[in-house]
Amino acid sequence: MRVLFVSSEVAPLIKTGGLADVSAALPSALRRLGDDVRVLMPGYSQVLRALESFKVEAFFSGVDEFPNFRLFASVLPDGVPLWVIDCPELFQRDGGIYQDGKGKDWPDNALRFGLLSKVAAILGGTESPVEWKPEVVHCNDWQTGLTPAYMHFSPGSAPCVMTVHNLAFQGVFPPQMVSELALPAESFHPHGAEFYGNLSFLKAGLYYANHVTTVSPTYAEEIQTEALGFGLQGLLKNRSKSLTGILNGIDDSEWNPASDPALTQAYTAQKMAGKAANKRALQKHMGLQVDAEVPLFGLVSRFTHQKGVDIVLEIAPQLIADHAQLVLLGSGDATMQSDAMELARNFPGQVAVMIGFDEGLSHLIEAGSDIFLMPSRFEPCGLNQMYSQRYGTPPIVHATGGLVDSVVDYNEATLDKGEATGFVFDDMTPQGLLSCAQRAATTYRDKKVWSALQFNGMSKDFGWQKSAEKYHEIYASLSDSV
């Protein structure tokens, strides 16, 4: 299958979250299955700087109201062909890819990601200047949501798959953007791209795509409910026959404790000795007391309400009083950041906090911690809980979305069956998390059970192969039906 994979972020070129990891790993896995996948993304300054070489594939002018732009052809580090939209006016600027340096959304985001959506639609349509024609266009999140709408109104276009990585982000803009982005007026309708009087990129994608997927089976169910549907549950319920949940995989060559260059010492499920050296290194690096026995809880996360970082901060003093250590890496909400820093000041040697984004440290935390914390209020899939299982660091997770689909709670029965890999709690309150963390800390002291949990997690297959096969089946069924 020829597949155009469209994403606003692709690791390692640019990453703000799990979408970038998926956008690197899934195309690569699909190519291993024999699909001809090409990735399309915006030419942010960071991306153009990171590209080693490229050639100009096409030049575009007079596309609706968009500035002139070029399409560069290049290649991702693992050999996947890459197309980059070179439109300096929209993409080359200092600051983040969605927000300026102060954390404010760029005021022209509708135009920026309208262009990304439009280019994908052109490449998947009948008027593409590029020779290579996709049989399916695979869109990801709101930044590509208008692609299915543009394609729906362009007869002869390839079918589209729309994947939701997080329904909380919808790309909602004022109604005048409908004409500015040259969408047909008839698309601005509750049965279309309109969301309570505004233009919703994500809703457009969910409405017009031929098939919708999301990143775990449980999340696919949850988004059809009022609690987690963010106002789109009705549409998603109507589309339930063409809505599939496929659990993300992880890049198991990058996230492999046997070969991870960020670790002090390598280790495997069979030879675990190196894990202790990583704990020592992490404690030293972060200014924690070096103590092999104390249970060390780790967290790597965006600091947001979604991720439950607030309740981690709330229970931290009690955890420390029970004799534990805590290491936190992340950034986001200003109050959470300052609360975390205050906690570190109040508990020197017991709590360490690093505000920022640090890929290497995130690997060391996965390896050096004993227990990983991921109490998300909702979680479409989540990657860190999979990384932590692979690194022999049993996770504590809230029973939601991809977390329940990827972690098996420890009890006697699951241990006997060789399935237990972590700790799952239902009650999303500080008390609920604390009881679960205490249960984990007690279990940690039972070395035999702990080794079994570590072994089970490390032996689990979190690779992309199975998931890529499921995406391939969806592509094939869509191209059969046109």
The contacts of residue 435 (CB under 8 Å, 6+ apart) are 425, 427
Angstrom CA distances, 265 to 228, 245, 274, 300, stand at: 41, 37, 5, 20
121-137 CB burial, b ≥16 within 10 A, e <16: bbbbbeebeeeeebbbb
Q: Which of residues 309-338 bind ligand ADP (CB under 6 A)?
A: 329-331
Radius of gyration, CA atoms only, the chain: 23
Closest CB to ligand ADP among 21 and 135? 21
Distance of closest approach, residue 41 Cβ to ligand ADP, in angstroms: 17
Residue number of the CB closest to ligand ADP reads 18
Closest CB to ligand ADP among 125 and 171? 171
Q: Which of residues 378-417 bind ligand ADP (CB under 6 A)?
A: 381-384
How many residues in the shown chain lie near ligand ADP by CB under 6 A?
A: 17
Interface mask toward ligand ADP for 266-305; x: CB under 6 A: ----------------------------------xxx---
Distance of closest approach, residue 264 Cβ to ligand ADP, in angstroms: 18
Q: Which helix (H) or strand (E) holds 471?
A: helix 465-481
Residue written as token pair 């022999």: 392
Cα dihedral 459, 462, 464, 465 in deg (nearest 10): 40
Binder to ligand ADP among 3, 18, 47, 420 (CB under 6 A)?
18
**36 binding ligand ADP? (CB under 6 A):** no
Distance of closest approach, residue 21 Cβ to ligand ADP, in angstroms: 5
Residue written as token pair 């008390």: 431
Distance of closest approach, residue 89 Cβ to ligand ADP, in angstroms: 28
Question: Which of 454, 374, 447 has its CA nearest to residue 420?
Answer: 454
Q: Which of residues 340-359 bind ligand ADP (CB under 6 A)?
A: 357-359
Closest CB to ligand ADP among 264 and 443? 264
Distance of closest approach, residue 360 Cβ to ligand ADP, in angstroms: 8
Distance of closest approach, residue 331 Cβ to ligand ADP, in angstroms: 6
Residue written as token pair 């004022």: 174
Distance of closest approach, residue 302 Cβ to ligand ADP, in angstroms: 5
Closest CB to ligand ADP among 15 and 38? 15
Give the start-end residues of each E strand in 325-435: 325-332, 351-355, 371-374, 395-398, 423-425
Distance of closest approach, residue 98 Cβ to ligand ADP, in angstroms: 13
Q: Are 147 and 121 in contact (CB under 8 A)?
A: yes
The contacts of residue 461 (CB under 8 Å, 6+ apart) are none
Closest CB to ligand ADP among 135 and 379? 379
Angstrom CA distances, 473 to 255, 406, 468, 480, stand at: 27, 22, 9, 10
Q: Are 7 and 144 in contact (CB under 8 A)?
A: yes
**362 binding ligand ADP? (CB under 6 A):** yes
**144 binding ligand ADP? (CB under 6 A):** no
Please report, as ranges, the residues that interact with ligand ADP according to CB under 6 A: 17-18, 21, 300-302, 329-331, 357-359, 362, 381-384
